[in-house]
Amino acid sequence: MNSLYYLAAIPVFGLLVISHEFGHFITAKRAGIRVDEFAIGFPPRLLKFRRGETLYTINLLPLGGYVRMPGENGEMTDEAGNYDPRSFASKPAGTRAAVLLAGVTMNFILAFLLFTAFAAAGQPQYTRVIKSVVAGSPAAHAGLKGGDTILSIDGHPVKYFSDITNQLQNDLNNAAPKAKTVNVTLVIQHKGSSTPVTVVVPALVKVSQQNQGHLGIEANPDDVILIRPPLWEAPALGIQEIGYVADQTLVGVEEVVHGILPANQAVTGPVGIVNYIGQSASAIPAVGISPLLFLTGLLSLNLAVLNLLPIPGLDGGRLLFILIEVLRRGKRVSPEREGLVHLIGLATLLFLVLLITINDIGNFGH
């Protein structure tokens, strides 16, 4: 793959960060809160310019962005000790919560728009013809070979390769907790034969070898059909995709909890995301922009969910302090204590990102 495809990560990350931070920015402005800085990335600074009271910056470390407002840790006074009516902390709890939720809301909206565009652009579907079979895999032991056509799986007719993967995922989800294999019934038409045959393949529940897969079959990336729905159906399909992604995310969490999927395969950092973006971008000449639209929508949705988690330093962590304030009938945690908690949370989060990045570097390009 041409390494230039990895440059697609720049507009993708930029779109995600700008949409999220713009939500905070515009809501804070409308609430009368002063915004000192709108930043893309983290320092050191590369570019900066000032418009009005806000400094706009583009920074070196592409790990996110931020909107800097006075009073984010609860301080209601300026540097001189005077009450600042335009600080974040001086606003009512509901206003502060709205500012914090605005970033997440923008990411949900962006995900919906991207999934809608993904549906409208047409979804590339691989045909049901097998390109190759992994040596030593369940499919190989069952006699499947490249060029074979899968006509049905567990009694469900197969039109596209995705029909195989979707039904297989259902079988795996319904497998017994300690099961090592799940029997999958396939109706196959071998290459060069006109007579279908039925085979039972013991699909692996837990995949231990890289690139093996549960069955061990691969679709043909050069044999693609582009399916375009009526344009008016695209928004509904966009909402449907959000539900699908949310469901698969929960399935992934359950697999990690039950030890089916190792945590280092389920969690991806910035380097791993760049790898996925590069792979999606490299597919554009063959299948169009749909995979990149879907991946960007997926990232936007995951960013929204991550920021809702009650992790100190993130939006969810700051919302937790507002909730504590409401439960204590307006009594706030001291600014010093809240700032320390957020600092520790961010430091811990950056350390985890570092560990994940080390793992991602080892898998880069695969």
Question: Facing residues of 65 across strands?
Answer: 40
Question: From first to last of its 366 residues, what are the pLDDT tens digits of the chain?
Answer: 678 888 899 999 999 999 999 999 999 999 999 999 999 998 999 999 999 999 999 999 887 899 999 998 888 888 778 889 999 999 999 999 999 999 999 999 999 999 999 999 888 888 999 999 999 899 999 999 999 999 999 999 999 999 999 999 999 988 888 889 999 999 999 999 999 999 999 999 888 766 678 899 999 888 888 888 888 999 998 999 888 887 777 676 666 566 655 555 556 777 888 888 998 998 888 778 888 999 999 999 988 988 988 888 899 999 999 999 999 998 988 888 888 998 898 888 888 877 777 776 766 655
365: burial class by Cβ within 10 Å (0-12, 13-18, 19+)? Answer: exposed
- Residue type at 206 in one-letter notation: K
**What secondary structure letter does DSSP report for 362?**
H
Interatomic CA distance for residues 301 and 296, integer angstroms: 9
Interatomic CA distance for residues 248 and 187, integer angstroms: 27
User: DSSP assignment of 250-317, as one string?
Assistant: HHHHHHHHTTSS-HHHH---HHHHHHHHHHHHHTHHHH-SHHHHHHHHHHHHHHHHHHHS--TTSHHH
Instruction: Using alpha carbons, select from 300, 208, 316, 202 the residue that is nearest to residue 260.
Output: 208
Question: CB atoms < 10 A from the CB of 35, how many?
Answer: 22
How high is the pLDDT of residue 61? 83
Cis amide leading into 44 (omega within 30): yes
How high is the pLDDT of residue 35? 96
Beta strands in the chain (DSSP E): 37-51, 54-68, 123-126, 130-133, 149-153, 156-157, 181-189, 197-204, 217-219, 224-227
User: DSSP assignment of 223-242, as one string?
Assistant: SEEEE---GGGHHHHHHHHH
Give the chain's end-to-end CA distance (angstroms, integer). 10
> Do the Cβ atoms of 65 and 17 come closer than 8 Å?
yes
- Residue type at 140 in one-letter notation: A
pTM (2 d.p.): 0.76
- To 10 degrees, what angle do helices 93-121 and 9-30 make? 140
List of domains in the chain: 3-120+299-347 (no CATH), 123-227 (2.30.42.10)
- SS3 category, 341: helix
- SS3 category, 76: coil
**What secondary structure letter does DSSP report for 175?**
S
